[in-house]
Structure 1
Amino acid sequence: MAIEAGAIVEQPREEPHGGVLYVVGTPIGNRGDLSPRARRVLEQIDVIACEDTRHSGQLLQGLSGHGRLVSFHRHNRQQRQPQLLAVLASGQGLALISDAGMPGISDPGEELVAAARQAGHGVICIPGPTAFVMALVGSGLPCGRFVFEGFLPARPGARRQRLQYMAAESRTMVFYEAPHRLLALVKDLLELWGDRPLQVGRELTKRHEEFVGPTTATALEHFRDQPPRGECCVVVGGCPAPATLPWDGDALAAQLQRLVRQEGLSHSQAARVLAQRSGHSRQRLYALLLQRRHGGEQGAGP
């Protein structure tokens, strides 16, 4: 197409764009992992929402400039989110970062992204390090299919119930855990799941990065002698496929009732867990549980 002499050709504006939410991945330890694109966006963006303004201020102090810092975390997200949406509505650019890694993973960033999209604002992700992906790939365990569970419940009973529900999962599983709860988690894993392949990744990308394994028992022994420091990623091998056990209605019913009464699982959950352990059909086990329950109710006298 011919362009007339003297005509002004408008060039597309480079990032960051106004009225757009940028979800920016930041280093999980090594500051050299901040990408050039992320650096450029953070230097030129109008407003940066972050978990801790002091922590993020340290990360950003080496930049030539950066947007106004605004705190956004799980304790203030309800009152802060409308303010951040108003920033986008005014035509300013907004960047979302976390203390480390990719926002939206185990933090309230996912709520802001959903709200921004619902309000009709653009959302652009700037890739960056993600701790659980690094731990998974570096563990040596199967990566083709996996389950990311984030942080398990902090209360022991709720944590054990969740682990009991997941005991039959055949895919590799990845968890985040705080150092002061890691030992309790590894103990629960050994007791409830047995001695499986396991790697605990800690201090990832930092000078003292390490993986502790290769099994649950060896990791437990290690952390009993050397208390863990820093946030940890726990990668656990999935449940091996069980050999189908002979059908013993009384024994299977007793196991189902134990899962329901002692572990607090629903009937459907108990049948699912035992199906994976025994190799029998979940539907058949569920029917057995209902049959024994109704039979017990009918047989109970006044």
Structure 2
Amino acid sequence: MTGSPDSPQPAGTLVLAGTPIGDTSDAPPRLAQELAAADVVAAEDTRRLKRLTQALGVHVNGRVVSYFEGNEAARTPELVEALTAGSRVLLVTDAGMPSVSDPGYRLVAAAVEQDIRVTAVPGPSAVLTALALSGLPVDRFCFEGFLPRKAGERLSRLKDVADERRTLVYFEAPHRLDDTLVAMVEAFGASRRAAVCRELTKTYEEVKRGSLKELAEWAADGVRGEITVVVEGAPEKSGEDVTPAELVRRVQVREEAGERRKEAIAAVAADAGLPKRNVFDAVVAAKNASRDTP
């Protein structure tokens, strides 16, 4: 039996589509199908969408609208209205999955609130690609997105996760990479392992691995391209019974690696599960003892 003219229109579907992070041949086959079938395509950059569809050899039959950080709040109600009217709305961002440091969360939340179906076309992710290539533990990780631009706020954010045991993943702009790595040295310690992943899946893809100190020195002259930084999680606090002499030795090792004494003491204390004051007192006592030695 067909519905009466007064029957409510079934709600549409919101489709979040992953797009290539570099190499367009990484696009999943379903992306082309959804681009052709969508009633509305909301794109972070309509010009980049045009280049993508040309590369995929697909024609967009639906209406194309821009959906980026500047108009996300204003355009969301319009897209929700289209969804409630039964439209299939496809959301694509410049690269990777929508909502992951890209527009999308606001629209998803609004669609869920209206009980509208939300699905996805899985695609490439810079977060997972960098994590897999980093050589660092992948069993547990957390994505921290972009750090604040202001130096003080950036350092504060990093210190907040200095004791995080999971591997950390960040996005960063190339012109801020050197400052960010220097801040990471101060917050995490010079010897913490990390990887800088540049231009993933593109012609000049590069993964630079090493300690934060080594990577900060490497980036000092400038680095180009799309950047993802993966940082080793904090070592487990052992709570072991470490002698004062061993604490002093560990501080000296970190200082010789380039850490300032204050940061070295903090890192050794964290590793040993001790108050910083205990390590500081051991260092001062050793220094005084060396002065008193004839």
The question of a shared fold, defined as TM-score above 0.5 by the shorter chain, is answered with yes
1:278 deviation in Å? 5.3
Shift of 1:243: 4.1
Q: Structure 1, unaligned stretches of length 5 or more?
A: 1-16, 248-272, 282-302
Does residue 204 of the first structure (1) align with residue 200 of the second (2)?
yes
Return 37-46 or 198-207, whichever deviates more: 37-46
Alignment of 1:53-92 (within 5 A): 53-62=46-55, 63-66=57-60, 67-92=62-87
Q: Matches of 2:270 and 2:89 in 1, distance apart?
A: 47
Using a 3 Å threshold, how does the CA distance of structure 1 residues 100 and 231 change in structure 2: closer, same or farther?
same
1:232 counterpart residue number = 227
CA distance in 2: counterparts of 1:132 and 1:64, whole angstroms: 27
Where in structure 1 do 4 or more consecutive aligned residues deviate above 4 Å?
A: 273-278
**Identical pairs, percent:** 43
Unaligned runs of 5+ in 2: 1-9, 243-266, 276-294
Contact 2:73/2:106, CA 8 A, preserved across alignment: no
Q: C-alpha displacement at 1:192, in angstroms? A: 2.0
Paired with 2:163 and 2:96, the residues of 1 have a C-alpha distance of 30
TM-score (normalised: structure 1): 0.74
The corresponding residue for 2:210 is 214
Does the 8 Å contact 2:18/2:124 carry over to 1? yes
- Pair 1:108 & 2:103 matched: yes
- 1:244: Cα distance to partner? 3.2
- One-letter amino acid matched to 1:209: E
In 2, distance between residues paired with 1:217 and 1:64?
47
Find the residue that maps to 1:132 and give its secondary structure.
Answer: helix
The Cα shift of 1:219 comes to 1.3
Secondary structure at 2:197 match in 1: strand
TM-score by structure 2 length? 0.76
Separation of aligned partners in 2, 1:101 and 1:135:
12
Partner deviation per Cα, 1:84-129 (whole Å, 9 max, x = no partner): 1111122111000110001110123011111111112111111000
Work out the CA distance in 1 between the residues paired with 2:269 and 2:211: 25
Q: Does 1:182 align with 2:177?
A: yes
Deviation at 1:68, TM superposition (A): 2.2
1:144-293 matches, cutoff 5 A: 144-194=139-189, 195-225=191-221, 227-244=222-239, 276=270, 279=273
8 Å Cα contact 2:17-2:92 kept in structure 1: yes
Secondary structure class of the residue paired with 2:220: helix
Q: Is the 8 A contact 1:168 1:277 kept in 2?
A: no
Q: Number of residue pairs matched?
A: 239
Contact 1:44 1:65 in 2 (8 A): no
CA distance in 2, matches of 1:243, 1:126: 43
Cα distance in 2, alignment partners of residues 77 and 222 from structure 1: 37
What is the root-mean-square deviation of aligned Cα atoms in Å?
2.2
1:246 positional shift:
7.6
> Deviation at 1:175?
0.5
Distance 1:184 1:223 in 2: 9
2:285 corresponds in structure 1 to: none
Distance between the aligned counterparts of 2:269 and 2:160, measured in 1? 12
Following superposition, the deviation at residue 61 of structure 1 comes to: 2.3
Task: Give the direction of change, closer, same or farther, for the CA distance of 1:165–1:88 in structure 2 (3 Å limit).
Answer: same
For the pair 1:27 / 2:23, whether they are aligned, the reply is: no
Amino acid at match of 1:201: C
Q: Indicate the residue corresponding to 1:46 in structure 2.
A: 39
User: Contact (CA 8 Å) 2:32, 2:58: kept in 1 or not?
Assistant: no
